[in-house]
Structure 1
């Protein structure tokens, strides 16, 4: 247990460090933020709004990742770190409140896009300052922080500010450019200076954010039927949606996450840092994005099933939402395949073909009843997870040494 003196300063973590209650508390605002992104896309489910929603999600993801890395080297529940986390929570909460108006600012009041960008800049600044203070004698880290500010903070923040003066496609494209520069800048800064002190903590931290995203998809099911009388089709749709979520959960936590954590533990130094960056910071974003897009599709399915005054049970999903239902699952599965390749060096034909099939399934979803499409998706995800489990198990047995 930390003493009063220890609570007044930053405490470095060890190899056996695990996620603290303070970090779980920190994640609460991101539950709301992810829900807001789904609502942003659901309000106007067009290709432009979908792209804009993914851009907002990528910016929010960066805010979360910054402090996942910091919390791995400094305890989040002691010293000034907890005060920093609470301050970031307040800023991210403000960001979340602005998300519905970030591309369509309501008249009167503050400019939602400008508030969003200023708060995002504040989070990035707090992260850099906190990291600098956490290791006062680490020159390699300080040099990396300077490069990060020059390559991955100042240029993207400038573009985001410019985007605030624009609207429509121009705003989305300028903000997308900021995201690309931000992510590419982190890649250019290299792995020197950054470190992963506890692989177990790092893996657990990202597993929890996947749980949060999966939980949001379940919330989307409830939101879709809110205000409507419960019926048998609603119950069937909810069960099918839960089965989809359960399949994604099993794929990640039983077949992907364990391999990633094991490999991260095996490596040391810059090799560990590069794997953490590629597998968790970069490749977990499409995992979360896929869940959010699928949540949008499930929300629309349940809404159509519940709203019998405006929709028939045999009516399919329309427009981009038809792609979102299975396409989001496809993005998740392909990201899982990429993680497996990066961490274990194994290709999974089942995951690749299944992911591509889901990406192309929008054309079929647009032709069949929405409830049937959700049921078929649940069956497909369940079958794919079982198939991958068998093939992965066989591959491990072939690779293991014989007696």
Structure 2
């Protein structure tokens, strides 16, 4: 509340007029609202995840360069799961209920604090895995729980102010709160590594099932398909930024000389391969009109939403792979050249394959053309690895990996675009969702 200047009263005196701070009722957004786009608040929220993804990518690159493959995967998988899931939970709620008033902004700021705390806990997680005794999740879970508590307050507000969505809001509070108790118990009990990983898998599965439990009998939420698709595209760009970061990190010492102007052939190859691979992956992602697909197949929102978890992890892994390649070329890595190429080719393959699978499942279009382009893409990636086995330099193999990302691009820009247009036409014509 804020005070305004005195106002006259009927008896000639004065009184203070009190003006309420603006707060809108959280009744749910219109899922067909025209022109719905990401808000400045959502874009600011995304900035905190730049730090989280960048930290995880950098830490896993260092472990991979030292040859600790199993430890790197053991730490990277839960880190990326926590980061991406936290972003997903906020984004879907905001698409359905965001009011952008002072309370919504305050609770978003609280979630941003949680993201920062989570990021600060990532080094401890990776270090604990290297030691091999346990999985140090305490700081990560503390940050994650802060974010989830803010979400519980958001759901409580929706339950109070939206009679239509009260049941689904209360169900989300119940199931989300229950899972958080499990996370806290796991983080602060410090069981052996194997037990921790098993318990993490169970709790992760429960997190993924919360929307099923909460919305199964209570109805869905009014999320906006084009808004959700735009938000996912923006987060894809954020994670793709790690490819640029990895390229810069890879090129540092390769420039040579005190002024950094003595470019070598390896430096040129790394810059071209890094930027080209990042650009190719971006192009592949945005060939799929996810917003239009979700408009007609709303019931596949769950598949779209959580199907992006391995996709985002693969993108961050690609950035880490570029960083490892640079460390190898600078003679700061303890792994061989074949392993270096594999560490870039594998996450690239996972990413490109995941985009294809998401397109196929959402469109119900397991067509021969996209199967052919996907097969050719994987074949080019395999060729890059085989060339490394045959003794080709890392820089050359990086260029081959980059070329693989443009195989589906060329396919789409030739025959693929028309084929996808036909599938979308069939979708608009009332095909079964």
Q: TM-score, normalized by length of structure 1?
A: 0.83
> For 1:13-32, what aligned pairs fall within 5 Å after superposition?
13-14=29-30, 15-16=33-34, 17-32=36-51
Match of 1:380 among 391, 404, 411: 404
Q: What does residue 325 of structure 2 align with?
A: 301
Match of 1:395 among 400, 419, 424: 419
Match of 1:115 among 139, 146, 152: 139
1:325 aligns with 2:316: no
For residues 402 and 361 of structure 2, the distance between their equivalents in structure 1, rounded to whole angstroms, comes to 27
Q: What secondary structure does 1:49 align onto?
A: helix
Say which one has the larger Rg.
Answer: 2
Q: What is the RMSD computed on CA atoms of the aligned residues?
A: 3.1
Q: What does residue 186 of structure 1 align with?
A: 211
Question: Contact 2:226 / 2:295 at 8 angstroms: preserved in 1?
Answer: yes
1:339 aligns with 2:358: yes
1:353 aligns with 2:375: yes
Runs of 5+ unmatched residues, structure 1: none
1:172 aligns with 2:194: no
Q: What secondary structure does 2:137 align onto?
A: helix
Match of 1:265 among 274, 295, 308: 295
Question: Contact 1:10 / 1:75 at 8 angstroms: preserved in 2?
Answer: no
1:38 aligns with 2:54: no
Question: Contact 1:63 / 1:123 at 8 angstroms: preserved in 2?
Answer: yes
Offset from partner CA, 1:166-210 (integer Å, 9 cap, x none)? 354443343233212321343344454332442221111111000
For residues 349 and 287 of structure 1, the distance between their equivalents in structure 2, rounded to whole angstroms, comes to 18
Offset from partner CA, 1:305-347 (integer Å, 9 cap, x none)? 2x15x689xx95354x543301111111121112212322212
1:60 to 1:140, Cα distance in 2 relative to 1, 3 A: farther
Shift of 1:50: 1.3
> For 1:41-60, what aligned pairs fall within 5 Å after superposition?
41-45=60-64, 46-60=69-83
Report the count of equivalent residues. 381
Shift of 1:138: 4.1
Shift of 1:366: 5.1
Shift of 1:66: 1.3
Most deviating of 4-13 and 323-332: 4-13
Question: Contact 2:118 / 2:142 at 8 angstroms: preserved in 1?
Answer: no
Match of 1:276 among 301, 305, 321: 301
For residues 171 and 226 of structure 1, the distance between their equivalents in structure 2, rounded to whole angstroms, comes to 38
Q: What does residue 16 of structure 2 align with?
A: none
Q: What does residue 237 of structure 1 align with?
A: 270
Q: What does residue 202 of structure 1 align with?
A: 228
1:119 to 1:112, Cα distance in 2 relative to 1, 3 A: same
Runs of 5+ unmatched residues, structure 2: 1-18, 427-433
Q: What does residue 290 of structure 1 align with?
A: 314
Question: Contact 1:216 / 1:295 at 8 angstroms: preserved in 2?
Answer: yes
Question: Contact 1:48 / 1:169 at 8 angstroms: preserved in 2?
Answer: no
For residues 24 and 42 of structure 1, the distance between their equivalents in structure 2, rounded to whole angstroms, comes to 27
Offset from partner CA, 1:100-139 (integer Å, 9 cap, x none)? 11142599xxx96212112212211211220230352545
